[in-house]
Structure 1
Amino acid sequence: MPITKTSWLNSYSTFQGYDEMYTSQNTVRPYWQKLLTGFDRLGVDGLMGRQKDIDWLLSENGVTYNVYNDPKGMHRPWNLNVVPFLLHQDEWKTVETGLKQRAELLNLVLKDVYGERTLIKNGIVPHEVIYGHRGFLRQCSGIEYTTRKFLSIYAADLARGTDGRLWVVNDRTEAPSGMGYALENRSTTSRILPEMYTEMNVTRLSGFFQELNQTLVEASPIKKENPNIVILTPGSHNETYFEHAYLSSFLGYPLVQGNDLVVRDGFLWMKSLQGLKQIDVVLRRVDDAFSDPLELREDSHLGVAGLLDVVRRKNVSIINPIGSGVMENPGLIPFMPNIAKYFLNQDLILPQIASWWCGQKKEKQYVLENLSKLVIKRIDRTNRESIHFGEFLNPEELDALKRNIEQRPYRFVAQERISFSTAPNFIKDSLEPRNLVTRAFCIASQNDYSIMPGGLVRVAPGRETIRVSNQRGGTSKDFWILEDQPINEAKIGLWQKRPSIAASGLEDLPSLTAENLYWAGRYVGRTLVNARFIRMVMRQLSMIQNPNEEPNSEKLKTLLKTTTHLMGTYPGFAEKAEKGPQAMENPYKEILSVIKDKDRVGSLAHTIGMFSNSYYTIRNLWSSDMWRVFEDIQKLWKSFQDEEQPSMNRILKVLNQLITRLIAFMGLVEESIMIQQGLLLYFIGLQLEQSMLTIVKCRSLLTIKYDAHTEYDLLEYLLISNESLNIYRYSYRSYIQLEDVLNLVALDLDYPRSLAYMLNRLQKDIARLPQSNHNNHLNSYQKFVFEAFAKLSLAEAATLSQTGTEDHFVRESLDTLMEELSDLLHQTSQSITSTYFNHTDKQNQLFTQSFPI
């Protein structure tokens, strides 16, 4: 039986303050009532189902937010509540006007700070507010920009003030994050609540992102029609890396890291597989001080040496300009009314939180006398822990804070503690009020600013939680701006202009992306081969009475030694350890370590970790199906890792599931990533790794001659681990013999799992690399593979099977061939790396500059 409108609100008790759902007369606003009516149709169970659908969809799409040192894992799932945040267009128009004014003001301040500095000269802003801020970079003084606005992207954190109006709480100017998450929130909510989304006339976001694209295209210094645009990311461990990859995929710009870029002859270039490609516009997500290790932080590995010099020469546009972080400065807030009068002769449209800069004597005294009632911040705070809520500090902490303020008063600003407004969140089976903060986004467009009709809403995790932060476990909401008239469903058209690099080919692939694809292929190949071999070894161990005792059969000892050689987990079973018992004395303990010890290099757990890291760095190339299977692998392995003493059967079951998922994932890679997107590099890495591991298995299992029974079993084990036993039986229909096994596993050109087939495929694939066959000569890596394939092609199974004399137990021809092939493939890998993945360029500062944290 559906519940009534009022029953949604039976347990909805608001704190003293402003609640977004209610009017000042304590009645529900009409547009919130319309939403509740829609919830009536769904009922509690229906709404719970929609929330589950949202959670599932976000998980399926791999939406994450990285939380440093999180015991639950770094890639925390993004949380989105089913209840959107609503605002009517009448109120939003005032907010829009105020945001445009504030963006223009900060644009003018930024221009003045690095230009004539009239604000300081005329006493409107004290010089300590600017020069005492870590974000002020003297190296950026006097730089002129070719963009219409200095500040191309601006974000403001908004919250309800005591008067019921939306107030500005924080300014974000350095590299504002959240646009991608806001777009994902909209995409998800509009799919899960389509009927309400349409009925309530929600303003669409598509036009804003079209304007964002246009802004970036028009930022080109020489106004190219099709400029080369990239998104510069700190890397996959950054907290908002998902957004970087999401925007890269959505907008069609390459996602690059600092090592992908280099400065040459006063221009910025991207290292591609073909060579250097000039870059015109950089959408920057790397912090100011880390952007150029030559002039700024010399310990930075995230930026590009010499980047500032290219900016000075007007040969590249950086969005937002380096040095814009000085505008993220609460010390400016008390002076903003006078700044508005000075530049625009206007009053501020949007109110701002009451603030007192401690660099002024009167204001400092007020702050010190009222410390327990205020919120204290650094003007250049670098982390959230530098925010002090006076009411929660004990006397000793208050005294320590007072001393800090008195020592360097210009570094501190105090602000009024405001009570954030609340809005309904769907928790379990009811609506509960939660504090929230909204982030609104502005982009420079023509001679004005365009405002996103919505934004990113962040919600506190608990009813009485004051701080609203994703790092602290907060959730998010979709932000609906509601219009009175139905929205015309205009389809998103093509961008008016597209950057030429968006439709690039393999030769334009960023070198770091290419390297990640290459290693992604190697790690998935290594994980699959090792998992199959360990599964086969575990099956043999499960057949003996006590797997904790030293094995008494030569074949099992050989299998265990091969495990160590294959995975590189020395000393392992291959030799005696210097201290402690031999691994062979307790094989189960050692094999469990080889499987589960994530800190042991070469273990299956360690390899899976490397596999996961390599694939996460190329997140922008994934399809949703790839992410789904990838997540299944992660969940399976994490659950297994939490088990202290898994049984043999449990291990075998997990290995079976892991192998199945890996095969599915590999199939999705091939159908989801195009050759020109770098799939070729993945294939090369995969074939190279599987070839090298096949050589290890052949050399470990076949070069020593054993008695007929043991030899037969080892041949069978090799075929099983290579998933080739059924093919062998079908092809040869005979007793397993060494010559036939070598013909199938090593020499058969038509069998995809044979060494000869993989080397032949490797030859063809590397011939398609941009620098192959240069000047009609083979490249070094081509020569190594060609030589390896030639040696294998000239080999004969009959010769390789011989030991020379009857009393000799080593097949020297086989051992020598495998050793030579291994060396040649190792040289191939080194040659490919030095040719295409050289990120060793390093430039040092001529002087040292300290950036205190």
Structure 2
Amino acid sequence: MATLAAPSLLDPSIHAARWIADYCGRRQPGDVLCSDIGNPAWAAMLEEIANVTGEELTEARERVQRQAEDIGTGFRIAGEIEERPWPLSPVPLLIDAEEWKGISAGIVQRADLLEHIVADLYGEAKLVEKGLIPAALATGSPFYLRPMAGMEPPGGRHLQFVAFDLGRGPTGEWRVLADHLRGPAGAGYALENRLAISRAFGGMQAKLNIERHAPFFAAFREGIAAACRRAEPRIGLLTPGRYSISYAEQAHLARYLGFLFVEGPDLAALEDKLYVRTIGGLKRIDALWHRIDPRLLDPLALDSHSQIGVPGLIDVMAAGNVVIANAPGAGVPESPAFAAFLPRICARETGRDLIIPNIATWWCGQDRARKAVIEDFDNLLIGPAFGTQPLGLDGMTPRPGAEITGDARKRLFDDMERRPQDYVGQEIVRLSTMPVVTDEGLVARPFTLRVFAARGGDGNWTVMPGGFARIGAEADVRASVMGEGNWSADVAICGDEPVPAVSLLPSTDSIHVRRNPGTLPSRVADNFFWLGRYLERGEALLNIIRVMLGNSIDADAGGALDADTIGRLVGLVIDGGGAKKPANLKRAELIQFARTALESEETHSVRAINRLARGIGKGSRDRLAADFVRLLDAPFPTRGGMLDRAGSLQRRYAALAGLSAEHMGRTAAWRFHDLGRRIERALTMARAVPAFGSPSAGSDDLSTLLDLADSQISYRQRYLTGIARVPVVDLVALDPGNPRSLAYQIERIVEHLRALPVLGDDGMEEAQQTEAIKLNAMISTANATRLSEPVFKNIERRLYSLSDAVARRYFLQGAEPLRSPGMTLA
């Protein structure tokens, strides 16, 4: 009779069982894993992790983190310039499908209640009349926007997308910790968390029957489209810009949902309609999902100091021609003070209690509540009532009353006496814990859960199955101590039935084939144009440095260049702002000069140019491939000598050029990127040819010119008799078959400008096209024997004029007129 083999020590189930036993041996009351230890989903999930990474949990953490970085997930702390990598735990929070049904029901109930409150506050104000909401609580809130009073938003709903922070108590009950209504953030992080976990542990989705996020996002897209007046609306995601703390998440969401990613200056209100400024003129926008402070949406109707809003946007909304999600002013119930009144409003208006209660809250704007807070001060959290810092508190985060002592307590009591309406008292919530991977292994940490709801095409709420968990850095389970958390985790809703493989993308048979890549905003075209110019400019400066280093400083490279040739190279660097003039051309001075041009923080060095390109890349990540962004973000090389660092940079530039040439679709965005490269390369050649190809040029000059034009091999293959001025000049200036020549760049510029859209329909050339055609005619009929320095100066001026013409026609120009002759609004 056959016998069963004993389980191997390499069996993933052995590792998973040991992890669970060790973890629950140190359990805390209410831990989600240990209180649900009989649920096979937890063991199956940990088995899948062990199957991929073995017994090393830290390997699982590093694997997931690499996936998150590959996706481009990042965030920024307020006040910081650089993004931080998104911290993702490899262990998801598992919630049973039956339990999730109750949570979803509570979320839908709360979203409907908040919609009812917002509609009433800006409508008949019956809740104030009934005494369910103090008038001061509403109209005294900084989130209440008076210009919105009496205005019914297009589609009839104020809320399209909402988020809530939930806390799970030690006994398993859920409570709402905070509402997010103005510009709810985090849905993109939930999507990216799921994507990273799926890539790292591919079998987990099917093994645990995890519900997918795609149907939720499809419903949201259908819901916002259904509120628009046009059958095929154009929808934008309005961002404050790349310094927003969640810019990476916003870019990912725009790309995933197919929304146009726009900033305020991209948009224009005209004749009660909203348009996006594109390279083809003004194009109609039907809906905006915004992620900026609603008070900054329109400087004419709201905050006049706003620099990121759209003048006239509220008038367009009032005319019913743009849906804004969520409607400006909808954030009034988001104030912590409102939590004190929601239970009573729900009971009186719906006849039911809140399915998921919020934490007990007392608004100090009422005498009885203020007295209760003062009497129980040491047992409560004390925080701002309206999301703005009152004078008596240090910072915006609620603090336990017991920790406020001495002068700080006296200052708070004095201010609470003067302005009691600025404060709330709240119960101190204790949280459940969940497993997270640290260097010590699997440890318990408190968590909160952010969940999302969106209106579908039928107007009803759809709840995202999951969301994302935020995990505290310390073992202290008080929610006030945990704050924003140090880690995130995917939230997986698991059931017994297999989940259909639903995607946000429609079926291949139902989607209408199109080869038009879509609308290109003027700002994006501007960014791609200057990204091309900066990359080409940095490469040109690096090439000069490498020629200087390789031929005059490196002792192993052969004989040094003539002093006059070195002087001309130095002159090119100085003219470009890469470094200041050296005291002399001796070896030590040249080394320092080259080092400054390569890596100085105070000049227009290669490092500085790279920083400019990197900034543009961060602002265009919704349209750039992850590999392209990763190369732009790569740190400046610091190891090895200057030639080694220059070589490393040269390879990076070559990789970027290769990605743009072979991996970017031939869209208008690519044309602007390549147009920038061609103009910058043409300028480089227009300066280099007269410097090194004059009638008095020696062999060192001509060889250097071939090096700068990367044409040494081409010349040697064509001319076997040695180096001579006229054929060198012809090759690098006038030969249209040389991809580094001036003539080749001009021909490509003409091609790009002919392919880009024009505003008029009269068939006449526009200014930028005329400039390019004239320049091309001048180059194509030139003769190398008659080219002189004044000719190249004229070419350089014409190239600058051409660049200005492109900018005037296609890019945002501040106070430019919104309508041009012959332009059609679409």
The answer to whether residue 506 in structure 2 is matched with residue 494 in structure 1 is: yes
Conserved? CA contact 2:364–2:424, under 8 Å: yes
Conserved? CA contact 1:67–1:471, under 8 Å: no
Higher alpha-carbon deviation: 160-169 or 171-180: 160-169
Q: Offset of 1:87 from its aligned partner?
A: 0.7
Q: Offset of 1:498 from its aligned partner?
A: 11
Match of 1:270, SS state, is: strand
The answer to whether residue 433 in structure 2 is matched with residue 433 in structure 1 is: no
Distance of 1:504 and 1:380 partners within structure 2: 49
Conserved? CA contact 1:359–1:412, under 8 Å: yes
Q: Which residue of 2 aligns with 1:270?
A: 276
Distance of 1:302 and 1:469 partners within structure 2: 34
Q: Which residue of 2 aligns with 1:79?
A: 87
Q: Which residue of 1 aligns with 2:690?
A: 699
Deviations 1:518-576 (A, max 9, x none): 1111111112222222222222342379xxxx9993322222122112x2246435xx8
**Residue type of the alignment partner of 1:568:** G
Deviations 1:567-605 (A, max 9, x none): 2246435xx8xxxx99998333333222222343x2111
Q: CA RMSD in A?
A: 3.0
Q: Offset of 1:483 from its aligned partner?
A: 0.8
Conserved? CA contact 1:228–1:499, under 8 Å: no
**Residue type of the alignment partner of 2:31:** D
Structure 1 residues 479 and 506, CA gap change in structure 2 (3 angstroms)? closer
Structure 1 residues 46 and 748, CA gap change in structure 2 (3 angstroms)? same
Structure 1 residues 714 and 773, CA gap change in structure 2 (3 angstroms)? farther
The answer to whether residue 217 in structure 2 is matched with residue 209 in structure 1 is: yes
Conserved? CA contact 1:226–1:498, under 8 Å: no
The answer to whether residue 385 in structure 2 is matched with residue 379 in structure 1 is: yes
Deviations 1:75-123 (A, max 9, x none): 2111211100011112111111110000000001111111111111221
The answer to whether residue 808 in structure 2 is matched with residue 834 in structure 1 is: yes
Alignment partner for residue 173 of structure 1, among 141, 165, 181?
181
Conserved? CA contact 1:145–1:317, under 8 Å: yes
Distance of 2:336 and 2:695 partners within structure 1: 74
Distance of 1:619 and 1:774 partners within structure 2: 34
Conserved? CA contact 2:628–2:656, under 8 Å: yes
Mapping of residues 155-194 of structure 1, within 5 Å = 155-161=163-169, 163-194=171-202
Conserved? CA contact 1:374–1:417, under 8 Å: yes
Distance of 2:748 and 2:99 partners within structure 1: 63
Alignment partner for residue 472 of structure 2, among 460, 467, 472?
460
Q: Offset of 1:738 from its aligned partner?
A: 1.6
Q: Percent identity at matched positions?
A: 27
Match of 1:115, SS state, is: coil
Distance of 2:468 and 2:410 partners within structure 1: 37
Conserved? CA contact 1:461–1:474, under 8 Å: yes
Match of 1:324, SS state, is: coil
Q: Offset of 1:654 from its aligned partner?
A: 1.8
**Residue type of the alignment partner of 2:398:** H
Q: Which residue of 2 aligns with 1:405?
A: 416
Structure 1 residues 498 and 119, CA gap change in structure 2 (3 angstroms)? farther
Alignment partner for residue 587 of structure 1, among 578, 586, 590?
590
Q: Which residue of 1 aligns with 2:821?
A: none
Mapping of residues 705-784 of structure 1, within 5 Å = 705=696, 711-771=698-758, 775-784=762-771
**Residue type of the alignment partner of 2:86:** W
The answer to whether residue 521 in structure 2 is matched with residue 510 in structure 1 is: yes
Q: Which residue of 2 aligns with 1:805?
A: none
Mapping of residues 457-606 of structure 1, within 5 Å = 457-464=469-476, 474-490=486-502, 494=506, 505=516, 508-543=519-554, 553-565=563-575, 567-569=576-578, 571-573=580-582, 586-600=589-603, 602-606=604-608
TM-score, normalised relative to structure 1: 0.87
The answer to whether residue 9 in structure 2 is matched with residue 35 in structure 1 is: no
Q: Which residue of 1 aligns with 2:631?
A: 629
Aligned residues, how many?
796
The answer to whether residue 102 in structure 2 is matched with residue 94 in structure 1 is: yes
Q: Which residue of 1 aligns with 2:5?
A: none
Deviations 1:324-348 (A, max 9, x none): 2223211110100111123212111
Q: Offset of 1:291 from its aligned partner?
A: 0.8
Conserved? CA contact 1:22–1:29, under 8 Å: no
Q: Offset of 1:66 from its aligned partner?
A: 2.1
Distance of 1:470 and 1:841 partners within structure 2: 47
Q: Offset of 1:492 from its aligned partner?
A: 5.2
Higher alpha-carbon deviation: 257-266 or 470-479: 470-479
Q: Which residue of 2 aligns with 1:614?
A: 616
Q: Offset of 1:674 from its aligned partner?
A: 2.5
Alignment partner for residue 662 of structure 1, among 636, 653, 658?
653
Distance of 2:431 and 2:581 partners within structure 1: 59
Deviations 1:136-157 (A, max 9, x none): 1111111112325321111100
Q: Which residue of 1 aligns with 2:326?
A: 320
Give ranges in structure 2 of 5+ residues lacking alignment.
1-8, 818-826
Conserved? CA contact 1:235–1:257, under 8 Å: yes
Q: Which residue of 1 aligns with 2:795?
A: 821
The answer to whether residue 137 in structure 2 is matched with residue 129 in structure 1 is: yes
Distance of 2:355 and 2:123 partners within structure 1: 26
Conserved? CA contact 1:767–1:773, under 8 Å: no
Mapping of residues 282-361 of structure 1, within 5 Å = 282-361=288-367
Deviations 1:804-828 (A, max 9, x none): xxxxxxxxxx211111111111111
Conserved? CA contact 2:553–2:591, under 8 Å: no
**Residue type of the alignment partner of 1:437:** T
Match of 1:169, SS state, is: strand
Structure 1 residues 20 and 218, CA gap change in structure 2 (3 angstroms)? same
Conserved? CA contact 1:225–1:497, under 8 Å: no
**Residue type of the alignment partner of 1:542:** I
Q: Offset of 1:192 from its aligned partner?
A: 2.0
Distance of 1:189 and 1:410 partners within structure 2: 45
TM-score, normalised relative to structure 2: 0.90
Match of 2:667, SS state, is: helix
Structure 1 residues 98 and 87, CA gap change in structure 2 (3 angstroms)? same
Match of 1:386, SS state, is: coil
Q: Offset of 1:485 from its aligned partner?
A: 2.1
Give ranges in structure 1 of 5+ residues lacking alignment.
641-645, 801-813, 844-853
Structure 1 residues 587 and 689, CA gap change in structure 2 (3 angstroms)? same
Q: Offset of 1:510 from its aligned partner?
A: 1.1
